[in-house]
């Protein structure tokens, strides 16, 4: 977890010149929770100048605050609103995650902003979207993925299990917001006109389910859990407990990978021959459960890791940073005294940097952006 400035290694930076492919892009973020701050962090890692407006006495902390200039603003004060509008005059994009209508009531809605800065890309991050029957309802990640079909497909046979908040907040939220912002910025560079990006977590999570809707339509996916190849139903694609209480994962889908699994795990019995027949999966899962419990996680790693079994030990967050592959690629960094995931993806010529947040006064930044 070294602090390095090479083009191929993600780094942590304090007081270094801004770097990354988005250097020169200015973004104003209205502080929120979840997907908005994460999106702003990734954009800042990639070199964008991100100004985060927070409530007075609010101090964002942790990885989600890195790379930002933090400014305390009272959005109920008319003079402050005027300054924010002046700041937006010099911005390329905006990120906000309030309920629909809040920004309009503040006098900071798209019409007001575009009247002054027609080229600005206006990013709106919500759970339900800007319109629809649920647009004004409260919700969290678990609710947004519930109505997409995603949550119903994840978990054990007895009930769905929330996949952390990776599918709604960050996968269906932040990533789609970033994709929309960057696409709209490219288009604005050609047309000279900005637009509103309506990024809803339910939209993004539904989009992430595209392959599974396609597989359902073609008869290759059955509704319910642990009934399909990729949801824990297949014996060759899943997680198994070891003698030590730890877990391993295997994904031996292709015949050549399955053959190596059989070889290294000693699965010579003819019952393992037809591995793609779902009728065999429940019995073979029971057999493999017993096989993998005969050795510890580390013992199975010494046998299978690095082979074409498609194998990996299931590591905790505290263990992940010590794995040799993760260490070699510096996937984690020490940033402000804490272990954090490093910027991703990696750029060969314009490397990203994880920068410490700084605080500033709104008037100073407005002056810098307009001078």
pLDDT at 7 over 80: no
pLDDT at 5 over 50: no
- Kind plus residue range of the DSSP H or E element containing 256: helix 255-265
What the block records as the tokens of 214 is 């396609």
* Whole-number percent of the chain with pLDDT over 90: 90
What the block records as the tokens of 329 is 């690629």
- Total tally of structural domains belonging to the chain: 2
Domain hosting 243: range is: 237-326
Q: How far is CA 216 from CA 149, 211, 228, in A?
A: 12, 9, 11
pLDDT at 168: 97
> What tens digit of pLDDT does each residue of 133-177 get?
999 999 999 999 999 999 999 999 999 999 999 999 999 999 999
What is the mean predicted confidence (pLDDT) over 240-268?
98
Same domain, 118 and 253: no
Same domain, 353 and 319: no
Q: How far is CA 330 from CA 191, 286, 300, 346, in A?
A: 40, 38, 25, 11
Q: Which residue has the higher pLDDT, 335 or 112?
A: 112
Residue 123's closest CA among 216, 30, 197, 36?
197
82 contact partners, CB below 8 Å, separation of at least 6 = none
pLDDT at 292 over 90: yes
Q: Which residue is catalytic, options 89, 114, 140, 298?
A: 140
Alpha-carbon gap, residue 94 to 89, rounded angstroms: 11
In a domain, 145, yes or no: yes
DSSP state of 291: H
114 included as an active-site residue: no
How many other C-beta atoms lie within 10 A of the C-beta of residue 353? 23
What is the mean predicted confidence (pLDDT) over 287-313?
98
Same domain, 244 and 294: yes
pTM of structure: 0.94
Same domain, 107 and 182: yes
CB 71 within 8 A of CB 53: yes
pLDDT at 59 over 90: no
Same domain, 192 and 321: no
In a domain, 27, yes or no: yes
Same domain, 67 and 79: yes
Same domain, 261 and 347: no
Q: Which residue is catalytic, options 45, 92, 141, 169?
A: 169
| Per-residue pLDDT band at 4 (split at 50, 70, 90) | very low
Same domain, 203 and 314: no
pLDDT at 238 over 50: yes
Same domain, 110 and 128: yes
169 included as an active-site residue: yes
In a domain, 231, yes or no: no
What the block records as the tokens of 332 is 């984690």
For residue 132, what is the domain's CATH number? 3.40.50.10540
What is the mean predicted confidence (pLDDT) over 30-43?
96
Residue 28's closest CA among 360, 280, 256, 311?
360
pLDDT at 2: 36
129 Rama sector, left if φ>0, alpha if ψ -120 to 50, beta otherwise: left
């Amino acid at each position: 977890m070294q602090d390095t400035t090479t083009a191929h290694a993600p780094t942590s930076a304090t007081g270094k010149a801004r770097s990354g492919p988005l250097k020169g892009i200015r973004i104003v973020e209205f502080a929120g929770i979840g997907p908005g701050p994460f999106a702003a962090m990734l954009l800042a890692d990639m070199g964008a100048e991100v100004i985060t407006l927070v409530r007075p006495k609010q101090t964002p902390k942790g990885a989600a605050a890195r790379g930002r200039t933090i400014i305390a603003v009272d959005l109920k004060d008319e003079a402050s609103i005027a300054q924010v509008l002046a700041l937006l005059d010099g911005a390329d994009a905006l990120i906000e995650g309030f309920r629909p209508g809040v920004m309009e009531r503040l006098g900071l809605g798209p019409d007001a902003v575009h009247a002054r800065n027609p080229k600005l890309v206006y990013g709106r991050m919500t759970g339900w979207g800007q319109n629809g029957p649920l647009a004004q309802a409260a919700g969290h990640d678990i609710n947004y993925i519930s109505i997409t079909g995603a949550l119903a497909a994840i978990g054990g046979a007895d009930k769905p299990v929330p996949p952390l908040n990776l599918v709604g907040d960050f996968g269906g939220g932040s990533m789609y917001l970033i994709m929309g912002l960057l696409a709209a910025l490219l288009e604005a560079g050609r047309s000279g006109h900005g637009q509103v990006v309506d990024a809803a977590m339910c939209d993004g999570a539904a989009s992430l389910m595209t392959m599974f809707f396609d597989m359902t339509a073609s008869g290759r996916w059955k509704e319910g859990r642990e009934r399909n190849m990729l949801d824990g139903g297949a014996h060759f694609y899943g997680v198994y407990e070891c003698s030590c209480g730890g877990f391993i994962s295997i994904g031996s889908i292709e015949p050549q990978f399955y053959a190596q699994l059989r070889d290294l795990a000693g699965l010579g019995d003819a019952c393992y021959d037809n591995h793609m027949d779902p009728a065999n999966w429940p019995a073979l899962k029971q057999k493999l459960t017993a096989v993998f419990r005969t050795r510890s996680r580390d013992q199975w790693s010494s046998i299978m890791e690095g082979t074409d079994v498609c194998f990996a030990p299931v590591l905790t967050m505290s263990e992940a940073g010590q794995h040799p592959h993760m260490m070699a690629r510096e996937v984690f960094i020490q940033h402000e005294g804490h272990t954090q995931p490093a910027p991703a993806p990696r750029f060969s010529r314009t490397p990203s940097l994880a920068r410490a947040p700084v605080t500033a006064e709104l008037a100073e930044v407005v002056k810098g952006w307009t001078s």
